[in-house]
């Protein structure tokens, strides 16, 4: 079986203090985009993963199913790696979904969600359709009714390198970023309640974890919202029309690699 493994952007990311388990409380708006990998999963004697030698999470996802056999996995990679777009998490969720569908007794959705959450906080999102509000560590999900008729320009800055998640959160803690968390979550929920058209997404609060001056460049080229996705380094811009996003992509290509894509409802 073969299926798409779409990337995601975080339309908002509000972060609070760490809990007793060391995980930070957060509220984030997950939005799937039509840029992603292709994953093929077939039963086999032993589990092998082809096409992306650096993978560890897909293998872990399949082992969590406790199947009586192994799996042969092929990943056709298109999502930028270590970019804040959730490519590895999406691959893992897609492999989990495809493998589960081939079991004699597939696991129910709630159990699959639990397995996904153990792999990573954003993995469960990729098992759901449509945009979602992630809370807790990001794995508690609530469907959102958001407009999907906009265009997304992704920009990965030249020479950029993704810092580890631990480094990003440590820097957040060092600057006291958790202060006012309750008020910021309330502001996010209030803004979400008023979203009726794409431009209303501009009212969502900015990413707490990461920022980039390139967001200003995207806005100056017509984006009605621009921010860093996740922990970065990819920056996204939202546009009303494809031609506007393509024009901005050409103008900003000197700053890094660009992709023009659109929202995707499901995997």
Give the residue numbers annotated as catalytic, written as ranges.
Answer: 8, 122
The residues near 142 (Cβ < 8 Å, ≥ 6 apart) are 132, 133, 135
> Among 200, 208, 202, 166, which residue's Cα sits nearest to residue 183?
208
Alpha carbon distance 230, 210 (integer Å): 7
Per residue, the 3-state secondary structure of 157-200, as one string, reads: ECCCCCCCHHHHHHHHHHCCCCCCHHHHHHHHHHHHHCCCCHHH
């Amino acid at each position: 079986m073969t299926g798409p493994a779409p990337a995601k952007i975080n339309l908002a990311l509000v972060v609070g203090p760490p809990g007793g388990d060391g995980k930070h409380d957060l509220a984030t708006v997950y939005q799937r985009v039509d840029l992603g990998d292709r994953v093929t999963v077939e039963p086999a004697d032993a589990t092998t993963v082809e096409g992306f030698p650096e993978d560890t999470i897909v293998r872990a996802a399949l082992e969590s199913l406790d199947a009586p056999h192994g799996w042969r996995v092929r990943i056709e990679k298109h999502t930028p790696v270590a970019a804040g777009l959730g490519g590895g998490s999406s691959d893992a969720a897609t492999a989990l979904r495809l493998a589960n569908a081939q079991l004699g007794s597939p696991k129910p959705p709630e159990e699959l969600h639990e397995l996904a959450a153990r792999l990573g906080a954003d993995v469960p999102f990729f098992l759901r359709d449509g945009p979602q509000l992630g809370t807790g560590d990001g794995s508690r999900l609530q469907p959102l009714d958001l407009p999907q008729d906009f265009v997304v320009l992704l920009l990965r800055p030249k020479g950029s390198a993704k810092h580890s998640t631990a480094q990003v959160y440590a820097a957040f803690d060092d600057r006291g970023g958790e202060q006012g968390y309750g008020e910021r979550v309330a502001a996010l929920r209030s803004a979400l309640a008023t979203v009726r058209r794409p431009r209303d997404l501009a009212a969502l609060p900015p990413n707490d974890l990461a920022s980039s001056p390139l967001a200003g460049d995207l806005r100056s080229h017509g984006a009605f919202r621009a921010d860093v996705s996740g922990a970065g380094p990819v920056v996204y811009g939202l546009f009303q029309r494809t031609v506007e996003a393509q024009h901005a992509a050409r103008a900003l290509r000197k700053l890094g690699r660009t992709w023009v894509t659109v929202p995707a409802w499901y995997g």
